[in-house]
Amino acid sequence: MPDLNARFPSSLMRVSTWTRFVDGSVPVVVMRPERPAATPLPFLLWFHGRTVDKETDPGRYLRLVRAGIGCIAVDLPGHGERPEASMQDGSRTAEVVEQAAAEVDDILADASASGFDPTRAVLGGLSAGGMAAVLRGCSHHPFRGFLLEATTGDWSTLCNRVGFPAVTVERLNPLTHLLGWRDCPVLALHATLDAWIPVEGQRRFIAALQKKSAHPASIEMHEYARTDAPHEHMGFGWMASDAKSRGTRFIAACCDVDVADPT
């Protein structure tokens, strides 16, 4: 287990377990609230962004467990407890995303065997982790909703950048592969001035989901005009608390959990 004394508060450490899913190949941290909202547990399956790890942003996890909701945070391929430098430098981002999306079903099976409810689960991610979530959403899935932060479902805005060759974008771009997308709630959070993932692409993706949805109001995009986060991309800066609270309320609503105040 990583040294987390300076990263996880004691109240979160107390309910967290470090283990590996998918025949020992995928490191995860499993968080179970002391007072669960239900058994088996509704939960968030969460993918972090490139260059960080599953322990990043414990404030998100703490809000969830306080609300009685579980969380399983996953190390992306090449990150955290399965490090590989070449998968963190950006040159293989699309590969990281595709592998993470392919692992979701096996992770979900292990979550179910560990007491989590796969029928009341939200899939989410930040940046590259969010791309993995979107990619998985383009085919049949059991998720109640998707929480997408600082990411995009229109990869054309990244085409020919390092890590996103045109041939890969053409093959995988979620915006052009929505035939299998099952209508469900989506919350997208994005900084308008994001310098790494242009907001226009995510606007187009959310608009496309709303257009094909029978319940377009359940698909929402909230933009932050300015956050002062690095590159207006990493963590939403001084709007981080607002973003976490919005995410918690969204997950609770998707999972039928009554949360009066997720802060």
> For residue 172, what is the domain's CATH number?
3.40.50.1820
Look at residue 2 and tell me if it is in a domain. Answer: no
Look at residue 1 and tell me if it is in a domain. Answer: no
Share of the chain above pLDDT 90, in %: 91
- Looking at residues 245-259, what average pLDDT do you find? 95
- Looking at residues 18-38, what average pLDDT do you find? 96
Mean pLDDT score across all residues of the chain: 94
Q: What is the rounded distance in angstroms from the CA atom of residue 230 to the CA atom of residue 52?
A: 14
* Residue 61 CB contacts under 8 Å (≥ 6 apart), including other chains: 12, 16, 31, 71, 73
- What's the pLDDT band for 2 if we cut at 50, 70, 90? low
User: pLDDT value at position 162?
Assistant: 81
Look at residue 260 and tell me if it is in a domain. Answer: no
User: pLDDT value at position 161?
Assistant: 84
Look at residue 263 and tell me if it is in a domain. Answer: no
Are the C-beta atoms of 93 and 118 separated by less than 8 Å? no
The whole domain housing 47 covers: 10-254
pLDDT in tens, 106-145: 999 999 999 999 999 999 999 999 999 999 999 999 999 9
* 137 or 5, greater pLDDT: 137
Look at residue 3 and tell me if it is in a domain. Answer: no
User: pLDDT value at position 5?
Assistant: 54
Look at residue 116 and tell me if it is in a domain. Answer: yes
- 3-state SS, residue 93: helix
Instruction: Characterize the bridge pairing of strands 70-74 and 26-31.
Output: antiparallel
Given a cut of 70, whether residue 64 has pLDDT beyond it is: yes
Look at residue 262 and tell me if it is in a domain. Answer: no
Look at residue 259 and tell me if it is in a domain. Answer: no
- Looking at residues 11-28, what average pLDDT do you find? 97
- Looking at residues 220-225, what average pLDDT do you find? 98
- What's the pLDDT band for 262 if we cut at 50, 70, 90? very low
Given a cut of 70, whether residue 184 has pLDDT beyond it is: yes
pLDDT in tens, 232-241: 999 999 999 9
Q: What is the rounded distance in angstroms from the CA atom of residue 99 to the CA atom of residue 129?
A: 11
With vertex at residue 52, the alpha carbon angle to CA 50 and CA 56, rounded to the nearest 5 degrees, is 125
Domain count, the chain: 1
Write down the pTM of the prediction. 0.96
Q: Look at the alpha carbons of 155, 160, 161, 165 in this order and tell me if their dihedral is positive or negative.
A: positive
